[in-house]
């Protein structure tokens, strides 16, 4: 249902620098330690799946990657740069809000709830950030938005308002909207969890296409079929630590830890 993307659409990048690198990342809310030393690495072009029980810190970790939360200890890099800091010589300077906002532009985020602007049509939702944030010309932004809507199989719904679209269609508009900013990294936080089962497939198809185009993706999901087929790496998190990681097929079919086994026995 969507136009196939090609690797040529993907920006050329140095493959030696990880897109995301976490070293001993800690995050607390008050007294509660939510992330207790996360170490992981996401390579450019990789589909990196994150699974784990509710409350294990998955969303918090995504929010740290996206500069929405400050970490308390450890190091977190996106595309070789420290999140939230600028390094000058051997000194670290905390970024100002403006600089943080600039960095956040490079990272697309898709949430469980689609958060489209209800008073704007699908195409207006997709055009909004390029016009408002990047100062793109409306005609150019419109043209680009239409091609993105076509890419997610919704060219014929461009003039519809979110309330006139199914949840799955709204989520595909939300993906197109994130892509409109030409992100180098896409974060998905349970993108299909709020959808009726029959609408999940179309959204996963769009994500699969995006993966094939070479986009680097970190995906929090309960869709184990997707993780197995599309994922390059999979991490099982529980209570703020990475319990187990590896190739999705290996972790899902042959989990080494009791906690992983117990979680999978409930969701598979």
Determine, following the binding rule CB under 5 A, whether residue 66 of this chain makes contact with Mg ion: no
> Residue 9: how many CB atoms within 10 A of its CB?
12
How many whole angstroms separate alpha carbon 180 and alpha carbon 125?
10
Q: Which of 59, 66, 121, 169 binds Mg ion (CB under 5 A)?
A: 59
Residues in the interface with ligand ADP (CB under 6 A) total 10
The mark string for 28-47 relative to ligand ADP (x by CB under 6 A, - otherwise) is: -x----x-------------
Answer for the pair 20, 77: CB distance below 8 angstroms, yes or no: yes
* Per-residue tokens: 83: 């999140």
Q: Which of 118, 222, 132 is nearest to 170 (CA)?
A: 118
Determine, following the binding rule CB under 5 A, whether residue 56 of this chain makes contact with Mg ion: no
Q: Which of 22, 56, 200, 206 binds ligand ADP (CB under 6 A)?
A: 56
Instruction: Return the number of the residue (58 or 144) whose C-beta is nearest Mg ion.
Output: 58
Alpha-helix runs per DSSP H in the chain: 58-65, 97-104, 122-132, 138-151, 167-179, 197-212, 224-230, 248-253, 258-267
Report the partner that residue 192 touches, choosing among Mg ion, ligand ADP, none (CB closer than 5 to 8 A by kind): none
Answer for the pair 221, 49: CB distance below 8 angstroms, yes or no: yes
Q: Which of residues 155-174 bind Mg ion (CB under 5 A)?
A: none
Shortest gap between Cβ of 226 and ligand ADP (angstroms)? 17
Report the partner that residue 214 touches, choosing among ligand ADP, Mg ion, none (CB closer than 5 to 8 A by kind): none
How many whole angstroms separate alpha carbon 136 and alpha carbon 130?
5
Report the partner that residue 29 touches, choosing among ligand ADP, Mg ion, none (CB closer than 5 to 8 A by kind): ligand ADP
The residues facing 107 across adjacent strands are: 185
Instruction: Return the number of the residue (33 or 41) whose C-beta is nearest ligand ADP.
Output: 33
How do 107-110 and 185-189 pair as beta strands? parallel
Determine, following the binding rule CB under 6 A, whether residue 72 of this chain makes contact with ligand ADP: no
264 backbone dihedrals φ, ψ, rounded to 5°: -65, -35
Report the partner that residue 233 touches, choosing among ligand ADP, Mg ion, none (CB closer than 5 to 8 A by kind): none
Q: What is the DSSP secondary structure assignment for residue 4, as one 8-state letter? A: P
* Per-residue tokens: 89: 């010589």
Shortest gap between Cβ of 133 and Mg ion (angstroms)? 26
Q: Which of 18, 44, 57, 153 binds ligand ADP (CB under 6 A)?
A: 57
Tell me which stretch binds Mg ion (CB under 5 A): 52-60, 97-105, 127-135, 235-243. Answer: 52-60
Where along the sequence are the contacts to Mg ion (CB under 5 A)? 58-59
Where along the sequence are the contacts to ligand ADP (CB under 6 A)? 29, 34, 52, 54-60
């Amino acid at each position: 249902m969507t136009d196939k993307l090609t690797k040529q659409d993907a920006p050329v990048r140095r493959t030696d620098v990880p897109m995301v690198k976490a070293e001993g990342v800690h995050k607390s809310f008050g007294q509660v330690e939510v992330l207790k030393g996360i170490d992981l690495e996401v390579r450019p072009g990789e589909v990196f799946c994150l699974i784990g029980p509710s409350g294990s810190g998955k969303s918090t970790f995504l929010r740290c990657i996206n500069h929405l939360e400050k970490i308390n200890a450890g190091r977190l890099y996106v595309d070789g740069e420290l999140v939230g800091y600028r390094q000058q010589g051997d000194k670290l300077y905390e970024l100002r809000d403006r600089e943080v906002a600039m960095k956040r532009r490079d990272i697309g985020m898709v949430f469980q709830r689609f958060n489209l602007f209800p008073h704007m049509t699908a195409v207006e939702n997709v055009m909004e950030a390029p016009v408002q944030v990047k100062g793109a010309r409306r005609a150019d932004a419109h043209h680009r938005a239409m091609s993105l809507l076509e890419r997610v199989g919704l060219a014929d719904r461009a003039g519809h308002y979110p309330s006139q679209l199914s949840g799955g269609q709204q989520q595909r508009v939300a993906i197109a909207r994130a892509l409109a900013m030409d992100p180098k990294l896409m974060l998905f936080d349970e993108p299909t969890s709020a959808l009726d089962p029959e609408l999940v497939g179309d959204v996963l198809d769009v994500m699969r296409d995006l993966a094939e185009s070479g986009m680097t993706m970190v995906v929090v999901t309960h869709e184990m079929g997707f993780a197995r087929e599309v994922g390059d790496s999979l991490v099982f998190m529980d209570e703020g630590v990475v319990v187990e990681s590896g190739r999705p097929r290996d972790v899902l079919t042959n989990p080494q830890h009791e906690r992983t086994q117990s979680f999978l026995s409930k969701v598979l």
